[in-house]
Amino acid sequence: MVGELATETERAGGVPASASTLDTRDSKERGVLSEYTGTGAGRTAVVAWLVSVPKHRTEEGREGREVPSRNYEAWRASNYMYMCGGRLRTALYCPQVVRRLRVPVLPLTVGLAVVPVVLCLVFEAAWFWHEVSPAVVVLFAYCAVQMLASVLKAALLDPGALPKNVHVTDGVEKDGLPPEYHSWIEMPGPQVLRPVVPPALAAPAGAPPPPPQRNTVYMKYCDSCYIWRPVRASHCSKCGVCVANMDHHCPWLGNCVGQRNYWYFFNFLAFAVATSVYLLAMSYYKVAHAGLHASRWSLFLGVYASCCLPYALLLLVFHVCLGLTGITTREYFGAERHEGNTQIQDVCLDPFNSGSSLFNLRRQWFHGRGRANVEIRGRYAPNDLRYKELHVGTLLV
């Protein structure tokens, strides 16, 4: 940072040596690009389309800096790395998985899922195809393809990111936010079909059921994104954005799990469990019928699947329970709890628990993805505040 400030100071003061050095370096870089491609700008455009890291871009509009043409190229306040012209995205790094290397974690996750599938298809599929049935291999391949497709969709698609700098006041860059922006807003929540009450306050046997009611929910202003967050939305410090209906940030996917990719995440867990169970059963069958000497790869794959199965199965069961109660992972860990409850919908007294397990499942799993909240691939307008870094008071966000 000190070096950058010194460079800017020298440039502002018109120091000939620094400016000449920068111009010489830029000319050499453009010459190297032209040597390989014939057109430096063309190669740069292709690279920017394949991989773009807005966080590492310098401010647009300065001398020698390229002005972004798409919204994702200008969204420096997020921690995303965009690929294929903004169609795909992933967090730059997740410190929970890789503490020192600031690299994306998704390749590691995909590798852990792909390796056993490839080994099984290369070394074991032929034996099952001829000795048992082709349907065994086809069904295994189907589960594996669904698992890989789901993990890629959950990791690379928009989780429901919300725009930034929407609710700001005039003069915010000088005076900061007004005091009322640091308070909570109380609002009526969704209608509860069968209100959940603690056992000590339950009505006596034979009494009529309580009428439907509305619990209270709260809205909060995000002082990082400068928006009033919708109910159930939350800010993710790893991705640098607020996410609608956020469930959690998955460090192994390098992405948040929210409104627009929760179903893909759940499918990934379901097919990961199915693939692990299938692989474990195939390994046991071949060891039992072909002998251990002819089933070394089967033994390895069986051990691999038995190590992966508990983790995926526990996560799947946990999210099934969340679906029955109609709440998210964040709401589960922050919900009010009462001892002595025996029914699963009584475990968490949450405003979004309707009291009906079937209604909760339908709302949690089968809701539509909805439209994207941010037109990330749209044409960038230099005066669009949603994709700029906002100075509030003396802070740079």
Residues 6+ apart with CB under 8 A from 194: 209, 210, 212, 354, 355, 356
Clarify whether 250 is annotated catalytic.
yes
The tokens for 396 are 């740079």
CB 68 within 8 A of CB 52: no
Which of 239, 242, 250, 348 does the annotation list as catalytic?
A: 250
CA distances from 179 to 41, 172, 184, 262 (A): 48, 12, 11, 35
Residue 396 and residue 3: Cα distance in Å, rounded?
18
Whether the CB-CB separation of 247 and 330 falls below 8 Å is answered with yes
Backbone phi, psi, residue 245, to 5°: 50, 50
Three-state SS for 354? coil
1: its two tokens: 């940072």
87, HSE (Cβ side, Cα atoms, 13 Å):
6
Q: Using CA atoms of 81, 85, 86, 91 in order, give the dihedral in degrees to the nearest 10.
A: -10
Q: Which CA distances in Å does 102 have to 1, 88, 90, 95?
A: 18, 19, 13, 8
Collapse the DSSP code of 179 into the 3-class scheme (helix H, G, I; strand E, B; otherwise coil) and give the result: helix
Q: Are residues 269 and 312 in contact, defined by beta-carbon separation less than 8 angstroms?
A: yes
Q: β-strand 241-243 against 213-222: which pairing, if any?
A: unpaired
Cα 345 from Cα 365, distance rounded (Å): 16
Residue 395 one-letter amino acid: L
- DSSP-assigned letter for residue 96: T
What's at 15, amino acid-wise? V
DSSP state at residue 218: E
* Token pair belonging to 219: 């809205």
Q: Give catalytic residue positions.
A: 250
